[in-house]
Amino acid sequence: MGPPSVKKKQQIQTPPMFQWHATEHSQLPSLSPCTEHSSDPKHQVTNANTQARLQAVQKLFETEFTAAVTGFSGQIRELDDRLEYTAGGHAAALQEDQKHIASHQAQIAQLENKVEDLENRLQRGNLRARGVPETVTDVASLMDEVLHQLLPELLD
């Protein structure tokens, strides 16, 4: 057995209507001025009109682009001004808040000292009775008993 027969593939050919386009206009379109020179006056007028239109479109794009950039620049300046104003307001508010915090911290320290002083003054007047359990519920009767034991002649 020999090698399988290989059939040649048929190459696809470009249709005739596209062949003219590929050969006649091999350059890509651009906005640069046309360098072709034709002897046909009608073709020259068409090229001149096309060039004039392209230049008009290019000028229109330039003016619109310039106007858009100018507008964006104005908006950016306005946003910058608003940001500066807002940041300045926040900085002033922050300083004011820091002053309030410092004032409140001083007041808290003063009140803590006052509470400690009052607690110490309250404890000065407390009497300690030795031998009296701290879990007594009827303090008045217990005090009567203790006083009768300690000072029997004064209470009678």
Q: Fill in the amino acid letter for 74.
A: G
Q: What pLDDT is attached to residue 36?
A: 54
Tokens representing 7?
A: 């059939």
Q: What pLDDT is attached to residue 125?
A: 74
Confidence band for 43, pLDDT divided at 50, 70 and 90: low
Higher pLDDT, 153 or 32: 153
Mapped onto helix, strand or coil, the DSSP state of residue 90 is helix
CB 34 within 8 A of CB 51: yes
Q: Work out the average pLDDT over 110-139.
A: 81
pTM attached to this predicted model: 0.40
CB 29 within 8 A of CB 13: no
CB 51 within 8 A of CB 37: no
Tokens representing 59?
A: 């000028």
Q: What pLDDT is attached to residue 22?
A: 45
Q: Given CA atoms 25, 57, 32, 66 in this order, what sign does their dihedral have? A: negative
Q: What pLDDT is attached to residue 151?
A: 81
**What percent of the chain clears pLDDT 70, i.e. is strictly above it?**
66
Residue 139: pLDDT above 70? yes
